Amino acid sequence: MRTGVVRVRDIIEEGHRLTGGFHVSEDERAVARLRRLTCSMATVRDLVGGRGIFRGPIFKGNFVDNPELGEPYVSARDIVNADVAPDTYLSRRHGRLLDELRLCEGMILVTCSGMNLGKAIWSRPGFGTLVGSGDLIRIEPNAAAAPPGYLFAFLASRYGHAQIRKQIYGGHIKHVDPEHIASLSVPRFDWTFEQKIHDLVEKASSLRVEATRLLRGVAARFDGLVDALLKQQRESPRVGVVNASLLQRRMDAQFHDPFVRALRAQLVSGEHATIGTWCQRIFLPGIFKRIHVDDLAYGAPYYTGSTLFSLDPEPKGVLSRKTTLFEQVRMEEGTVLVQAFGQKGGLTGRAVWVGRHLAGATTTHMLVRLQAKTKEDTAYLFGFLQSQAAYRQIASLTYGGSIPHFDEDGIASVVIPLFSASERRELARDVVTSVDCRDDALDAERQACTLVEHAIEGGAK
């Protein structure tokens, strides 16, 4: 329990807010430092144009499976991921509502409820094809008032985020509203400095777009082998016939999905391998009791499985080296991790590359570790795992009740098509370039936020 003393005058000046967390929190010092700044200040409201600051309306969604009948839809949970790949479509019957929900390049998005509440996201090129949840606050910056990337970097920084968190209210489901964001204080510095921050944000955006382009190009090459199957209208319910001899191992219908059976048959008709023969290491750590400490000197950053897929992964804490399976859950650069536990339609079967920002940190046992003999072969495997040809196979492997999962033997059976040696090298190069771009983008964005934070700390009395 946290306790503190609040003056009645502060309650009145802060809008008669009686929420304890508003007045007594670790963010209070950050907000106090902003108040001590000697530079000029503005509010977010002063720095916007167009439609200003708003959120999408609450609506009852009419969703469709066919992309020709709808617009790709993303939630507040989807938008914080490094790879924003919508898998549902909002029907075009919503008409004008789609215009209100549509995202635009250069917008600043702030999640206003849910697990990632208060997270700021820069709307990158390509976001204009998406319609977003009503749980996203949209900010349309005025480039004449301040470089848009600077406003984003401030909101994404420790000081901007502290102000946003301070405004959170509600019981079971926490919220923050557009008017709360509009009133946030923004320090103003020299235009040249703010433009430098903007340029770093734009650089990060460009790198992320390039990374996505390359990875999707690699995935498309694999999916091109089963393109006719992927374009088929999926029956509901799906009905198939299975020989009794095939039921000795597994009896669940999902495992014997006729679509997956046809997909595997298509892939094995050409040169192929399995993940089991392609990898020199397939490893799923055992269940362990986590021992957390406060000092990094006695452990390593610990990430949850879902966090690894974020634009900017943030550790949940520090895992002690005294943890029983500490070395088993430590991440090694150049390893591929595949989510092995979770609900259908979630992250199960999705892959993440361990780059330089994650190397040496630790994560949950719920990710299977894959590593081929060379970095090039591992990159080729990671590119394949971005495809529907891989995901559909892995999704059929899960078993269990409350939390479906798969094991090492299951993922080892997944079929990988093999192109010529020269094409494999080319695809692997694209993958390595894309994961490097993502690491470089994270460097640039973090640098932008750090420069803002240092400027604030240097300008406070």
Output 20 or 28, whichever has higher pLDDT: 28
Does 67 score more than 80 pLDDT? yes
Q: Is the CB of residue 207 less than 8 Å from the CB of residue 438? A: yes
Distance in angstroms (rounded) separating the CA atoms of residues 68 and 63: 12
Q: Is the CB of residue 385 less than 8 Å from the CB of residue 428? A: no
Distance in angstroms (rounded) separating the CA atoms of residues 68 and 287: 44
**Domains plus CATH for the chain?**
8-188 (3.90.220.20), 211-438 (3.90.220.20)
Does 11 score more than 70 pLDDT? no
- Give the pLDDT score at 123: 96
Does 450 score more than 70 pLDDT? yes
Distance in angstroms (rounded) separating the CA atoms of residues 458 and 159: 13
Does 142 score more than 60 pLDDT? yes
When pLDDT is cut at 50, 70 and 90, the band that residue 27 belongs to is: low
* Dihedral pair phi/psi, residue 459, rounded to 5°: -100, 0
Predicted confidence (pLDDT) per residue in 84-111, tens digit: 888 889 999 999 999 999 999 999 999 9
- pLDDT cut 70: percent of the chain above it: 90
Could you tell me the pTM of the whole model? 0.89
- Give the pLDDT score at 258: 86
- 242-248 mean pLDDT: 72
- Give the pLDDT score at 59: 82
Predicted confidence (pLDDT) per residue in 249-292, tens digit: 777 777 778 888 999 999 999 999 999 999 999 999 998 899 99
Q: What crossing angle do the helices spanning 191-223 and 148-156 adopt, rounded to 10°? A: 80
